[in-house]
Structure 1
Amino acid sequence: MQQRRRFKQTQSLEERLADEAQRLRLQADVLAPGPDREVILKKARQAETGAHMSEWLRSSELQPPK
């Protein structure tokens, strides 16, 4: 049986997603308007949304249904 590689994350998921969104936005800034740029901007928005959703799910205000 093959052992699975495991990585210890040094940053939280929210930080990694925010960094990825920032990297993608910088990459999109150097591209001319067009379909390639739009794809990269869409990925950046998805990463930002994922970071916000993860923060929301971890928040103390979120309560399970009673």
Structure 2
Amino acid sequence: MKRQQTKQTVSFQDRLSAWAEQLRKKAARLKLGRERDDLLVKVRQADVAAHLDEWVNSRGLQPPK
């Protein structure tokens, strides 16, 4: 069975940023509590993922010796 492959038209970085912004807006509408905290954790994870992706794809990254 073959997997369906789709061509991404938006970069990973842009998709992460949009998702994080969407979560921030949703969290801002919620009262203090568990659900809001969980959304903010996801926002932080998306920010870290974006930073790591930027670092991994940077020109200055050297292979391990």
Asked whether the two chains share a fold, i.e. TM above 0.5, the reply is yes
User: Is residue 2:37 matched to residue 1:33?
Assistant: no
- Aligned match of 2:16: 17
2-side partners of 1:65 and 1:40: how far apart?
Answer: 35
Matched residue type, 2:54: E
Unaligned runs of 5+ in 2: none
Unaligned runs of 5+ in 1: none
Query: So what's the TM-score if we normalise by structure 1?
Result: 0.91
Query: So what's the TM-score if we normalise by structure 2?
Result: 0.93
Aligned residue pairs: how many? 65
- Aligned match of 1:6: 5
Root-mean-square deviation (CA, aligned residues, Å) is 0.9
CA deviation map 1:19-50 (0-9, x unaligned):
11000000000000000000000001101110
Runs of 4+ in 1 over 6 A off after TM superposition: none
Structure 1 63/35 Cα, relative in aligned 2: closer, same or farther at 3 Å?
same
2-side partners of 1:64 and 1:4: how far apart?
Answer: 31
2-side partners of 1:24 and 1:17: how far apart?
Answer: 11
